[in-house]
Amino acid sequence: MGVEFGRRLDRVLELTLTASGRPHPSLPPCREQHSLQVRFEYNTCTTCSMMSGGYHEAVLQIRADGRHLTEAEESEIATLVMDHLEAEYGRDTKAFISKVTRTRHGIDLLVGSEHLCRKIADDLESRYLAMRKENYKVIGQTRGGKDKYRITVLIRLQRFSVGDFVRVMGRPCQVLALGRGGLTCYDLQSHNSFTVSRRSAKWRTVEFIAPASAKRDYMVVSQSYGQPIQLMDMVTYETVELDDGPPLASVGVGAIVSALPLDGRLYVLPAGGP
């Protein structure tokens, strides 16, 4: 048996099929040749058809409270969304993002599956200790006359992110981490770290003070036993005096430290901080 391919048109392939053999050992061999046409039909799968048509059951809006999303946050969110898409692949035919829009306010995702949208929103809410709001909009009716709804989920990240400064119970702190375990902070007065759960009373006292960019670099210019340590602002060259203590106890003259000027006081930050 052999196949000889001929002309190939857009949806038609011409070929010649040759078959040889004998129907019975007592009969002579025979050989036949036939010309055939193979016609192709191209179809789009259900999922791809819905994607190309912009189908979506939910809108996921991602914002940040009083600020823009950082590049790091956008990258982390993109990775998180891809992880959920991969996890739902093959299980949910509507597990796709039909459109991504970046605005000056944040990111909007048109999500094919409401179930997928909720899973992504749950993860974002937990990972960033974010605020959440949902609303429904009537978009039509079913054949049975019932209203059809589309959900919009708004996820608003906190005003602060890692490295920023907040007050907790009125005490100035720096944000070290935030996630499912809560908000981890460094107390600038006691020089201790602690974690605040969203379910605790302390969480309601958390307020934003300043971004991470508010910290400044200082050089240790004088250090004598029993005497205040002198620090020089690396921008204005003004000097300030601070008592010897954490986190200045282990630094020497010429060392560069970071500190936050706040309410007429200078709070030195630990080395290697966020």
Same domain for 116 and 68, yes or no, is: yes
| CA–centroid distance for 266 within its chain | 34
Query: 3-state class of 63 per DSSP?
Result: strand
In this structure, is residue 274 part of a structural domain? no
Domain count, the chain: 4
In this structure, is residue 273 part of a structural domain? no
In this structure, is residue 18 part of a structural domain? yes
Same domain for 50 and 142, yes or no, is: yes
Same domain for 228 and 201, yes or no, is: no
In this structure, is residue 228 part of a structural domain? yes
Same domain for 115 and 153, yes or no, is: yes
CB 163 within 8 A of CB 148: no
Q: Which of 164, 192, 200 is nearest to 73 (CA)?
A: 164
Same domain for 135 and 55, yes or no, is: yes
Structural domain of residue 225, as residue ranges?
A: 215-268
CATH number of the domain within which 244 lies:
2.40.50
Same domain for 138 and 241, yes or no, is: no
In this structure, is residue 97 part of a structural domain? yes
pLDDT tens-digit profile, the chain (274 residues): 678 888 888 788 888 888 888 877 777 888 888 888 888 877 777 788 888 888 999 999 999 999 999 999 999 999 999 999 999 988 888 999 999 999 888 999 999 999 999 999 999 999 999 999 999 988 787 787 788 889 999 999 999 999 999 999 999 999 999 998 899 999 999 999 999 999 999 999 999 999 999 999 999 998 877 788 999 999 999 999 988 777 787 788 899 999 999 998 999 998 877 7
Query: 3-state class of 122 per DSSP?
Result: helix
In this structure, is residue 139 part of a structural domain? yes
Same domain for 32 and 52, yes or no, is: no
Same domain for 194 and 257, yes or no, is: no
Q: Which are the contacts of 74, defined by CB distance < 8 A and separation ≥ 6?
A: 107
In this structure, is residue 88 part of a structural domain? yes
Distance CA 72, CA 101 (A): 18
CB 220 within 8 A of CB 231: yes
Q: What is the pTM of this model?
A: 0.76
